[in-house]
Amino acid sequence: MITGFSYLRATSLKEAVSGLSQGNARIHAGGTDLLGCLRDQVFSTEMVVSISGLRELKGIRETPEGHLRIGSLTTITEISESRIIRERYPALAQAAAEVASPQLRNQGTLGGNLCQKPRCWYYRGEFHCLRKGGDRCYAIAGENHYHCIFGGDRCYIVHPSDTAPALVAYKATVHIAGPAGIRKVLIDHFFVPPSKDVTKETILEQGEIVTEIILPPLPRGATSSYRKVRARQSWDFALAGVALALQMTGGHVTDARIVLSGAAPIPWRSVDAEKALIGNVLNPGSIKRAAAMSVNNAEPMVHNAYKIPLFRGMIEEELENLSHSQA
Ligand SMILES: Cc1cc2nc3c(=O)[nH]c(=O)nc-3n(C[C@H](O)[C@H](O)[C@H](O)COP(=O)(O)OP(=O)(O)OC[C@H]3O[C@@H](n4cnc5c(N)ncnc54)[C@H](O)[C@@H]3O)c2cc1C
Ligand code: SF4
């Protein structure tokens, strides 16, 4: 049951920020995650501020400098179908196409996808766990098949978003409006690991709204993809996923981003695997090494060690696919 709250349909960004600065007000974009959380009493609120009427937060456009600006209210469907994203940033289009079901992609927004709450079943259930301000993590001794193998520290969620790893791979910047004005943050610093604060998923403070995501222009020789493995063929969150963004120059990898989903409480950069590729030709040897390095420091829980060979195999396959497309 949803407990009562007041509702503000903001007509300007200023009005939205001002409404959100009060108490524990929550943002409503597409509502696909927020309403489930309120219904299941994951949290409560005294005020919901709808930003869905703010036209300035919608749409995709190229800036004169060649950056791509994606408004936070752009729907997941619009991202998966955008010609410019499919051509230039295919990992993002592929990730968006892998999100949930067509209905949820039509209603859900990019901002909401980045700021959605974790899917840990204890957190979504009646358990007052650490992330909700309680005193323990129920996943440690419980059902942890779908929990993390990297970056767990008191809390062992996996980050639920498919689009976030692609945006990290592309070195996106997040623009945030708040009571103090606009701030711009490299997406690598947007998500909060449990080692820093176990009750927060993003750096957003009360009253702050993600307004847009900026993708930098990609140099010639850039190649990228997103691959997701899930338990069911129909809609489901990632058991394991990987966003790859490689820069190839003269047959060599000169820059690499390998970002995992379904792996850690935040989109997880596999820095060791990136290092294994940079400076090398993409061939079976370097691919195998990088795939092995990607799970180097994994710390599985009792029920999720299956993720280690799953990630290794998936990354190897996906790098092979990219190397064939370069040939
Ligand atoms: C059945 C189901 C299956 C799903 N499967 C997947 C999946 O496979 N992959 C995947 O990536 N996602 C999946 N999702 C999540 C879905 O993609 C998100 O619910 C959706 O993207 C959220 O967008 P929204 O606009 O509806 O956000 P809302 O529900 O409106 O908001 C979600 C959260 O983000 C906050 N928020 C929203 N917009 C902003 C903003 N601009 N600035 C700051 N905070 C904001 C809200 O306050 C709220 O806490 C699934 C969801 C469901 C219900
Ligand atoms: S993994 Fe995190 S969200 Fe899940 S029960 Fe443990 S503390 Fe709570």
Name the strand (E) or helix (H) holding 115.
Answer: helix 110-115
| Surface-to-core class of residue 75, CB atoms within 10 Å of its CB (0-12 exposed, 13-18 middle, 19+ buried) | buried
pLDDT at 60: 98
pLDDT at 327: 67
pLDDT band at 326 (very low <50, low <70, confident <90, very high): confident
User: How many Å lie between the centroid of ligand 1 and the Cα of residue 36?
Assistant: 10
Mean pLDDT of 232-248: 90
User: How many Å lie between the centroid of ligand 1 and the Cα of residue 42?
Assistant: 14
Q: What is the pLDDT of residues 77-123, one digit of tens each?
A: 999 999 999 999 999 999 999 999 999 999 999 999 999 999 999 99
In sign, the C-alpha dihedral spanning 89, 93, 99, 104 is positive
Q: Is 252 helix (H, G, I), strand (E, B) or coil?
A: strand
Is 42 near ligand 2, meaning CB less than 6 Å away? no
Mean pLDDT of 54-80: 97
Q: How far is CA 259 from the centre of its chain?
A: 10
Residue with tokens 């195998």: 288
User: Is the pLDDT score of 237 beyond 80?
Assistant: yes
User: How many Å lie between the centroid of ligand 1 and the Cα of residue 155?
Assistant: 21
Is 264 near ligand 2, meaning CB less than 6 Å away? no
Query: Hey, whose CA ends up nearest to atom 3 of ligand 2?
Result: 123
